Amino acid sequence: MISRPTILRSVIGRFLPGVLAFFGGGLYLTARVKGLALGPAQIETFTGLMLFMTLGFVTCVSLLRRVLPRAAGVDGRRSVLAGFTAPMILLALDVMHGSPISHAVNYTFAFVAGSAASLAMFAPWIGRRSTTRAGYASVGRDGDDESGEVAMVRIASLSRPSQTLPPPQIWSEA
């Protein structure tokens, strides 16, 4: 389970810098290349979109926090990638909708983009547990469950020394 302080650290230290790097950098470069001056209305809209993307990310991760293991790395690089991905999803939704677009619809799209980006980043870790359940345990390839590659191993079959496993089949082309 992911703690609330971990989610807060993830948002402030990883997600927002990712959004700022992609979305803010793109906005700045577009205004610079086209010779536009960003006024208070554009900055206000930009801030609102960032807020709603962040709210979408926080909402989705908060709903998933009970089923996400610590190995999901919510406070790691996946949150930065979600920060890069959320503005791309927002731009895709805006392009598919067409223009002109109202602020309410745009803010809703920003919330959906933040939620979709976090769901896309953390979906592979939903439900992976390192605890024993129904005779099974998750074991990583290196013997730990932090590797991300998990194999389910039947504990009962490993505890019986009288059972022997058949030798592995080696296929070779002659």
- Which range among 106-110, 144-148, 155-159 has the greatest average pLDDT? 106-110
Q: What is the pLDDT of residues 9-28, one digit of tens each?
A: 988 999 999 999 888 888 88
Continuous segment of H or E residues that includes residue 158: helix 155-159
Segment 45-71 mean pLDDT: 89
Is the predicted pLDDT of residue 63 greater than 50, yes or no? yes
Alpha helices, DSSP H only, in 20-151? 25-34, 40-64, 77-97, 103-122
CA-based nearest residue to 1, from 97, 90, 130: 130
73 backbone φψ class: left, alpha, beta (φ>0; ψ -120 to 50): left
Global pTM?
0.68
Is 125 or 49 the better-scoring residue by pLDDT?
A: 49
Angle formed by the axes of helices 103-122 and 77-97, to 10°?
A: 140
Is 40 or 168 the better-scoring residue by pLDDT?
A: 40
Look at residue 140 in the predicted model and tell me its pLDDT.
43
Is the predicted pLDDT of residue 135 greater than 70, yes or no? no
Q: What is the pLDDT of residues 109-118, one digit of tens each?
A: 999 999 999 9
**118, 57 Cβ separation under 8 angstroms:** yes
> How many angstroms separate the CA atoms of 50 and 99, rounded?
20
